[in-house]
Amino acid sequence: MNLSENDISQIEAHGLSVDDVQTQYMNFITGFPFVQLSEAATIGNGILRLSEKEKEDAILHYKQNKHKHSLLKFVPSSGAATRMFKDLFEFSGLYMGLDYTLKEFPEAKKTIDNLPKFAFYEDLKQRFAAYSVSLEEYLERNDYTTIVNYILTEIGLNYGKLPKALILFHKYKDSKERKYRYAIEEHFVEAANYCTMENNHVNIHFTISIEHKQEFEKVIKEIKPHYEEAFGVKYDISFSVQKQSTDTIALRSDNTLAYDKEGKIIFRPSGHGALIENLNDIKGDIIFIKNIDNVAHDRIKSSTYQYKNLIAGILLQTQEKVFSSLSALEKGSLTSQEVVDIIELTNSLGIGLSTQEREKVKDNNVLRLLYDKLNRPIRVCAMVKNEGEPGGGPFWIERDGIRSLQIVEKAQVDLLDENQKEIFSKATHFNPVDLVCGVRDFRGNNFNLNNYIDQTTGFISTKSNNGEMIKAQEKPGLWNGAMADWITLFVEVPLETFTPVKTINDLLRDEHQDK
């Protein structure tokens, strides 16, 4: 790929190097290899199903030991709500300059027919009242296009341009103060219930888009004092934005560099996998990760709290075993039985010795090998039964002769290969982006998370840019390839802990309604 001096200046100004861009270009040309599935992870074969006693022990272990750790809730929340309102956008014709009757759009009709059930209904009524008109009048006149425009555009709620975090999700009619809660607000409530430290501080980190920073700060200033008083805690809130240096170039269909109308290189965000940089910068200890839209009404939050405590307890229990083994390996002079015990630990964690590695057991390299296998970040991922919801699935994969547990997305699998297709179809669970991570080593130092990424797990997609189709590139996903070389445990949790809001009408589900 030939680059002009102007191209190079733009690349460097964006925080990238020419080598970075050349690597990205070659990824476009050669493509990313498909993941090689070995078999689906299932209960008893990669996914833990705990007994009631084991659940109680894990929860108690977390509650008794969390004071020894710095806790943080990490919430990817930069996504705009555009997809959430896709059906309303299509109905309103904002994208195409057209107009429609409501009956042609059943999802938009469902939204209009159920407006009083949404937490933003009263706010919407007030926006109409500000113009000395009433929402009820427009409903009586069947002027649905105007109503939808009041939901989506700056004349009203402007939800079409706000991040999902700042959409009103839930209402609490019996509350004396906060009768309506933003999505971000529910994370304040959650964090206070399982992420409060001994000094009553609660750390929450939100990844945001820079253009929405002012709106985020305004909402947090509004809600923070209320929940500090309600829960008797002190919130320490931090933000970060996806780094420009993680962006990628785009190519036209003829594999030439894509430029905008001003002749500037088109740089695109490289997906949520870029957030591994943000996670790495935090320098945390025990970090809970959950998507901004995966929140429920207070009525059913107790299950969420229980299983958050549970997976965190599993993490701490595992971490203690790993740290103890690492300390012993570092000291050396282990008995044969101690070596066997450590090998059994690696097997139980799905990072056992490969056939080639077993041959090294006879020499002194085995201790170094075991040390390297165990000295890495740990993640415990919640898994729910697959009942048709989207999400990455748990699989055993084969890489460099070694099997490991991974969360794998559909786009990573060669479904034209009948064997791979059959393995993929046998997944019984999926990951709802609900995990807890241990990112410090046994000496208390933070791992450099960039050292544990499988760079071969990105993928190429096609996007539209001003009417032209261009090739885009995404980095290894945050909980997929970006954590490929972590110690990974999968734990079954009930489906009721997964309550995502992907479309506006998801808010009409029972778990989001005030009964």
Q: How far apart are CA 205 and CA 265, in angstroms?
A: 31
> Residues 475, 270: contact at Cβ < 8 Å?
yes
Angle at 165 between CA 429 and CA 199, to 5 degrees: 85
Structure tokens at 183: 């999505």
> Residues 312, 191: contact at Cβ < 8 Å?
no
Write out the DSSP string of 78-96.
--BSTGGGHHHHHHHTTTT
Structure tokens at 395: 């699989």
Report the chain's C-alpha Rg in angstroms.
25
Longest dimension (CA), the chain: 85
Quickly list H helices, 332-486. 336-348, 355-358, 365-374, 418-425
Angle at 212 between CA 111 and CA 206, to 5 degrees: 95
Q: How far apart are CA 384 and CA 429, in angstroms?
A: 5
Quickly list H helices, 73-176. 86-92, 106-113, 121-129, 135-140, 144-152
Q: Tens of pLDDT along 75-128?
A: 999 877 888 999 999 888 765 555 556 778 999 999 999 999 999 999 999 999
Q: How far apart are CA 221 and CA 239, in angstroms?
A: 14
Of 471, 4, 29, 472, whose CA–CA distance to 252 is shortest?
Answer: 471
pLDDT of residue 67: 95
pLDDT of residue 466: 78
Q: How far apart are CA 161 and CA 324, in angstroms?
A: 50
At 118, the amino acid letter reads F
Q: How far apart are CA 496 and CA 129, in angstroms?
A: 38
Where the chain has pLDDT below 50, the residues are none
Structure tokens at 416: 């034209």
Strands 286-290 and 71-76: parallel
pLDDT of residue 100: 57
pLDDT of residue 407: 93
pLDDT of residue 102: 74
For residue 98, give the 3-state DSSP assignment: coil
Instruction: Encode 86-98: b = buried (16+ Cβ within 10 Å), e = exposed.
Output: bbbbbbbebeeee
* Residues 6+ away with beta carbon under 8 Å from 297: 170, 511, 512, 513, 514
Of 300, 163, 306, whose CA–CA distance to 241 is shortest?
Answer: 163
How many angstroms separate the Cα of 393 from the Cα of each of 425, 448, 455, 507, 511?
10, 26, 19, 25, 24
Structure tokens at 388: 């048709």
* Residues 6+ away with beta carbon under 8 Å from 54: none
Angle 365-374/336-348 helices, nearest 10 degrees? Answer: 40
pLDDT of residue 2: 87
How many angstroms separate the Cα of 219 from the Cα of each of 160, 216, 226, 294, 358?
17, 5, 12, 19, 56
pTM: 0.93
> Residues 459, 32: contact at Cβ < 8 Å?
yes
Of 191, 393, 454, 185, whose CA–CA distance to 312 is shortest?
Answer: 191
> Residues 342, 328: contact at Cβ < 8 Å?
yes
